[in-house]
Amino acid sequence: MSHIPVMLDHVVEHIAPQPGEIVLDGTFGGGGYTRAILAASECHVIGVDRDPDALQRATAIAADYQSRFTMLAGCFGDLDELSAEAGFQGLDAVVLDLGVSSFQLDEDERGFSFMRDGPLDMRMAQSGPSAADLVNQADERVLADIMFQLGEERQSRRIAHRIVEARKTEPFETTLQLAELIEKALGGRKGKRAHPATRAFQAFRMFVNDELGELARALEAAERALKPGGRLVIVTFHSLEDRMVKSFLAERSGKTEGQSRFMPEAANTGPAPSFEHVRKISAPDTAEIEANVRARSSRLRSAIRTSAPAWDKPVELPTRLPTLDEVVA
């Protein structure tokens, strides 16, 4: 199956590409956004993806657009360094469409889906420790914390305990092995709308790929790389990610909680705002949701870079979890 780009029209509208501009699509995936942006204006698009399979999908666009498209392999958390190394000084727009693509979900071998049997992998970049390494090696408490904090799984302790008991006799190797154990731990599927493993799988995927850490680095990198007037557009599917983008833009535009635009200027003692014109679009219209279930939980947030310097303040993570390297050998 191919990937249906979410909120495509809104994304292009908020990116508002102009001829000669440089737009970075940090989550190339199947190239849905990239293609639409290239078609909307005579701009140049830099595609970035950490998944080697996405790089292969870029060859068709490269053939169609040649001098207006550059594909780069890497993480969007490094978007400023990646684009500078490729010779682009400053960006006019950055777009991120977070999470996994349908290409990744639908391929058994990638091990992202609890509906398909495959190796318990979940690595977007196809390198480094896998979900199997995590599930087979991490402490019970860490596994529970991951499921609770990243998946809001209320039965996280029970599932973690069952995982640790089961792996003593047989290590986890496949997606269905884990999905079935979670299903049993939670008392089966009857009467449940979503598969019982949905939350745990999402949490393990986010942890294996350090998705929140990458988002934090990308927000800081985009703030450094965008030119004055540059647009930042981010589509999220998870409440923690959406909250990170929301509070980053609120802070950087001088409207942190408790502060309002009616507050006297003198009360705002932080650095000059690095973003302005913050906008939000909630879940897309019903027709799009009907055509694409993935769109249901999506949010788009955008803002425009001011001419103020980037803030010297790291983006805080909403969770307190160790890193993958700290929990696997």
Task: Tell whether residue 48 is a contact of ligand SAM (CB under 6 A).
Answer: yes
* Interactions with ligand SAM, residue window 90-129 (CB under 6 A): 97, 99-101, 124
The site that binds ligand SAM (CB under 6 A) totals a number of residues, namely: 22
Instruction: Kindly tell me which residue out of 33, 201, 207, 311 binds ligand SAM, with binding defined by CB under 6 A.
Output: 33
* Sign (positive or negative) of CA dihedral 44, 72, 204, 176: positive
Q: Decide if residue 80 touches ligand SAM (CB under 6 A).
A: no
32 is in an annotated binding site: yes
Residue in the structure block whose two tokens are 């909680």: 257
Q: Is the dihedral of CA 215, 217, 218, 219 positive or negative?
A: positive
Does 207 bind ligand SAM (CB under 6 A)? Our answer is: no
CB of 91 within 8 A of CB of 230? yes
Q: How far is the CB of 5 from ligand SAM (least distance, A)?
A: 3
Question: How much of the chain is in helix, strand and coil states, percent to nearest 5?
Answer: 45, 15, 40
Does residue 50 bind ligand SAM (CB under 6 A)?
A: yes
**Segment interacting with ligand SAM (CB under 6 A) among 47-55, 132-140, 241-249, 250-258:** 47-55
In b/e form, how buried is each residue of 10-29, taking b as 16+ CB within 10 angstroms? bbbebbbbeeebbbbbbbbb
Q: Least Å distance between CB 106 and ligand SAM?
A: 12
Q: In this chain, which of 92, 145, 214, 288 binds ligand SAM, going by CB under 6 A? A: 214
Q: What is the DSSP string of 146-171?
A: HHHHHH--TTHHHHHHHHHHHHHHS-
200 beta partners: none
Q: Which of 49, 145, 242, 288: binder of ligand SAM (CB under 6 A)?
A: 49
Q: Hey, which residues between 265 and 284 contact ligand SAM (CB under 6 A)?
A: none
Spatial CB neighbours of 140, under 8 Å, sequence gap ≥ 6: 160, 161, 163, 164
Min CB(97)–ligand SAM separation in Å: 4
Residue 177 assigned ligand-binding role: no
Q: Which stretch binds ligand SAM (CB under 6 A): 44-52, 165-173, 174-182, 303-311?
A: 44-52
150: burial class by Cβ within 10 Å (0-12, 13-18, 19+)?
buried
User: Is residue 251 a contact residue for ligand SAM (CB under 6 A)?
Assistant: no
Question: Smallest distance, Å, CB 168 to ligand SAM?
Answer: 33
- Residue from 21, 24, 30, 219 binding ligand SAM (CB under 6 A): 30
Separation of alpha carbons 63 and 61, rounded Å: 5
Annotated binding site for S-adenosyl-L-methionine: 31-33, 49, 76, 97, 104
Which chain residues interact with ligand SAM by CB under 6 A?
3, 5, 27, 29-33, 48-51, 54, 75-77, 97, 99-101, 124, 214
